[in-house]
Amino acid sequence: MTTTDNHFYDLVVVGGGQAGCAVALTAAATGRTVAVVESRPGGPGGASVHETDLPAAVCRETAALLRAIRHAGECAVVVPDQPEPDFAGLARRRMARVAAAAADMGRRLEAACVKVFNGRGYLAAADTVMVLDCETGDDIASLRGRTVVIATGSSPAPPVWFQPDGRHLLTLPQVYALRRWLKSALIIGGGPDACEVASFLALSGTSVNIGFPQAVLLPQAGDDMSRHLATAFQREGLSLAASATATGCEAVDGVCTTTLSLADSEELIRTEAVIWAGPKRAVTDNLGLRKLGIATDDASGAIETDACGRTAAPTVYAVGACADPECTALEARLRGEWLAANLAGERAPFPTPRNLIRALATEPPVAWVGLTPAEAQAACPGAVTACIPLPDNLNQPASASGLAAIVGDAATGEILGAQAIGAQAAAFVSALSIARQFEYGVADLAGLIPADPAISIPLASTARAWVTAASGHR
Ligand SMILES: Cc1cc2nc3c(=O)[nH]c(=O)nc-3n(C[C@H](O)[C@H](O)[C@H](O)COP(=O)(O)OP(=O)(O)OC[C@H]3O[C@@H](n4cnc5c(N)ncnc54)[C@H](O)[C@@H]3O)c2cc1C
């Protein structure tokens, strides 16, 4: 039975994650009538609230405390027993935080007069979204909209031989929902998500292997940070296999045997769990796109759009991870706000990752913004990089440090990128990101008056090293 919702909305949004909620709230704030269709029974918020970022953040808080307790001896504090996480308690804490965040998003939508429908949405026509009851499979509402926005997100896309079972073969959301400790795990993937989950598990006492197809771990952060992180991981006992492709896995009697194909050999890795942290796929099946002529990419499932987020059907737009499966939660939110502004007639520029920093909760933390040294070299003949040790605090000897790098154009002094690893990594890179947004050059930073000495002093030192390197380059 179809209950027709009699309203004609300015905007109907399918998917209530970061992108969908951002579109809805921004459009509602300018007086538009908006409906959001969300299939998750737990309410809006999307993957980042229910499955990835928030659950991961809760796990990281526990891991950070474990780390602090393990290093207590360095601060002359005696901790009698080896600390270990209480996974059942962690699960309760995580569920409470997720429920609170989803409820908060629900309240924000309600306060903005956005009508939320719980069910699975699909397009019956370019201006009509049907809402299907996920349990009964019945259509429960038919919503008409001047504009329809698809914001259905992305999900892990393991190969066919990897069938997640929630116990031994796990996706990242399943790891962050675990209620038990893992003795050992192989993580497949070497990107940001893989490095973060590796750190969390290692701090929890799990014996961690990481196998990744790239030549280096975390190539996104640039070679220096990547090497530094790999060394730090190996020092903590994590085992890394670069240029390794997992080709199969068998779980028998609680032991997973994974075949890793290396350059000229094969290796069998035996662990209690195998975790898929590889590429994601856009959630675009069963949305009724094909009959409206809306194309998706075969490999990633991503909905094809023009530069304004518009699909081949003129009234239908797509935004967030369903159009770019690897986008971060922050990118999804900013793109949602951008789309709503554009639909309101503003010519807002697309939020590029140019000034968006990535800050990973790895151990040690890593952060970066803009171009890596190699990307800058390829894009700009005058690219120069200066890299210096980054102490955790001003009293720490440089030998026990992380690293900080600034990439700049020797011809113009423009900041092209920055990378850092260590406790102050995010703060260092944030300062560089702000400097870029205000169009400061590297030389401007060399004489910086310390606002927060822990950041400003390394920032000024790196900038001075860059000025020296750049003057030799000219
Ligand atoms: C495994 C994994 C790990 C990640 N780790 C990180 C990280 O560490 N840091 C980071 O910044 N980002 C991370 N991300 C990315 C982040 O989760 C996404 O960028 C962000 O959630 C994208 O927002 P979105 O609104 O586009 O999609 P989502 O947040 O996925 O929201 C889409 C919503 O649409 C709903 N939906 C889907 N189909 C329908 C339908 N037919 N009808 C109604 N509702 C529907 C879903 O239930 C969901 O709530 C990760 C993503 C994944 C998959």
Lowest mean pLDDT among 136-140, 306-310, 470-474: 470-474
Give the position, in ligand 1's atom list, of the atom nearest the Cα of 120.
Answer: 42
Nearest protein CA to atom 24 of ligand 1, as residue: 153
Please give the full DSSP string across 390-437, using - where no structure is assigned.
Answer: E-SSTTS-GGG-EEEEEEEETTT-BEEEEEEESTTHHHHHHHHHHHHH
Calpha distance 269→337 (Å, rounded): 45
Nearest CA to ligand 1 atom 38: 152
Mean pLDDT of 121-141: 94
The confidence score (pLDDT) of residue 20 equals 98
At residue 146, the 3 state secondary structure works out as strand
Instruction: Flag the least confident range among 61-70, 195-204, 229-238, 289-298.
Output: 61-70
Sign of CA dihedral 37, 38, 41, 44: negative
Tokens describing residue 304: 């094809």
Res. 105 pLDDT band, cuts 50 70 90: very high
Q: Which of the four pLDDT bands, split at 50, 70 and 90, describes residue 454?
A: low
Q: Whose CA is nearest to atom 12 of ligand 1?
A: 328
Residue nearest to atom 17 of ligand 1 (CA): 48
Cβ(138)–Cβ(132) below 8 Å: yes
Selection from 15, 244, 182 nearest residue 109 by Cα? 15
More confident of the two residues 367 and 350: 367
**What's the Cα-to-Cα distance from 425 to each of 208, 362, 370, 419, rounded to whole Å?**
24, 11, 15, 8
User: Within 6 Å (CB) of ligand 1, which residues are found?
Assistant: 14-20, 37-40, 46-48, 52-53, 56, 120-121, 151-156, 172-173, 193, 196, 280, 283, 287, 320-321, 327-330, 332
- pLDDT tens per residue across span 388-426: 988 876 666 665 679 999 999 999 999 999 999 998 899
H/E stretch holding 282: strand 280-282
Q: How far is CA 240 from CA 133, 139, 198, 211, 264, in A?
A: 45, 49, 11, 6, 17
Report how far ligand 1's centroid is from the alpha carbon of 153 (Å): 4
Report how far residue 286's alpha carbon sits from residue 39's, in angstroms, rounded to the nearest whole number. 13
Centre of ligand 1 to C-alpha 182, Å, is 26
Do residues 145 and 11 lie in contact, with contact meaning Cβ atoms separated by under 8 Å? yes
**pLDDT of amino acid 14:** 98
The mean per-residue pLDDT over the stretch 99-105 comes to 97
154: which DSSP letter? E
Buried b (16+ CB within 10 A) or exposed e, 316-352: bbbbbbbbbbebbbbbbbbbbbbbbbbbeeeeeeebe
169-278 classified as CATH 3.90.79.10: no
What is the model's pLDDT at position 4?
A: 59
- What's the CA-to-centroid distance between 171 and ligand 1, angstroms? 14
**Given this model, what pLDDT does residue 154 score?**
97
pLDDT in tens, 167-221: 999 999 999 888 888 999 999 999 999 999 999 899 888 999 999 999 999 999 9
Domain edges within the chain: 8-156+281-353, 169-278, 364-473
Q: What is the mean pLDDT of residues 446-473?
A: 77
Average pLDDT of the chain? 91
Statement: residue 447 has pLDDT above 80: no
Q: What is the mean pLDDT of residues 250-276?
A: 94
CA 314 to chain centre: 30
Q: Which atom of ligand 1 approaches the CA of 196 most closely?
A: 8
Enter the CATH code of domain 364-473: 3.30.390.30
Atom 50 in ligand 1: residue holding the nearest Cα: 52
pLDDT greater than 90 at residue 37: yes
8-156+281-353 and 169-278: identical CATH topology: yes
**pLDDT of the residue at 278:** 93
Q: How confident is the model at residue 65 (pLDDT cuts 50, 70, 90)?
A: confident
Average pLDDT over residues 260-285: 94
- For residues 27 and 336, the answer to whether their CB atoms sit within 8 Å is no
Which pLDDT belongs to residue 397? 63
DSSP code, position 144: E
pTM for the structure as a whole? 0.88
**Which class is 8-156+281-353 in CATH?**
alpha beta
Selected residue with higher pLDDT from 250 and 4: 250
Instruction: Confirm if 172 and 339 have CB atoms less than 8 A apart.
Output: no
Q: Which residue has the higher pLDDT, 7 or 370?
A: 370
Q: Rounded to the nearest whole angstrom, what is the distance from the C-alpha of residue 177 to the centroid of ligand 1? A: 16
pLDDT of 1 higher than 60: no
Mutate to test the pocket of ligand 1, among 283, 287, 289 (most ligand atoms within 8 A of CB): 283
Distance 323 CA to ligand 1 centre (A): 11
Tell me which of 36-45, 76-85, 198-207 is least confident.
Answer: 76-85
Reply yes or no on whether the pLDDT at 451 is more than 70: no
